[in-house]
Amino acid sequence: MASYNTSDFRKGLKVQIDGDPFIMIECNFVKPGKGQALYKCKLRNLTRGTVLERTYKSGDSLEAADIHETDTTFLYEQAGTYFFMEKETYEQYELSKEAVDDAAKYLLPDMPCKMLLYNNNPIGITPPNHVILKVEYTEPAVRGNTATNVTKPATLETGAEIIVPNFIETGEVIKVDTRTGEYIERVKE
């Protein structure tokens, strides 16, 4: 198995600690006045979501995790289980509601997603950065309220609730950023 030396440490690095896959979410190089250089790292467990803080001396190493991403398509959800199919091999994967997490708010059938595999077992998905969804319900705009940046809540066809500008109405189609959950723009059909 490959390993990473401290000189390779960077944000986004996928490593294995005590048999669990982790992603490095922060890595800071610290050089004290005397003594050895240190690397202060924050790592998130990819299966549990917990965050770990560790300090490594220069010369330490971590084992590389057997993690890769593959292109999949979201098929459907049934009783809290989400089903995906790999585009190349047509292999199907199942993920629990906990593993899908917030991405479930933006998933529609036949939507392309990136599946994260650890030892060829699915551990998470990443939806497209921007999705186009229909507004199922939002309060009607208040006539005469033309002040800038007036917003209101809206419920989308997937059940997600986001904040939209006052001029958006029920039935309109909008673009949403799945990373932040923010409204981007109105889409012409």
96 close to 121: Cβ distance less than 8 angstroms: no
Q: Which CATH class is domain 3-64?
A: mainly beta
Q: How many residues does the chain have?
A: 189
Domain with CATH 2.30.30.30 in the chain: 3-64
Region(s) of the chain under CATH 2.40.50.140 = 67-126, 130-187
What is the fold of 130-187? OB fold (Dihydrolipoamide Acetyltransferase, E2P) (2.40.50)
Alpha-carbon distance of 60 to 27, in angstroms, equals 14
**pLDDT score, position 102:** 86
Any idea which residue has 């440490």 for tokens?
Answer: 9
Residues 133, 113, 50, 181, Cα dihedral to 10°: -20
CATH assignment, 67-126? 2.40.50.140
**Which pTM was predicted?**
0.76
Across the chain, which has 189 residues, the per-10-residue mean pLDDT values are 87 90 91 88 88 92 90 94 93 90 91 91 91 94 70 93 92 93 89
DSSP, collapsed to helix, strand or coil, labels residue 103 as helix
> Dihedral through CA 139, CA 100, CA 89, CA 79, nearest 10?
-80
In this prediction, residue 144 carries a pLDDT of 65
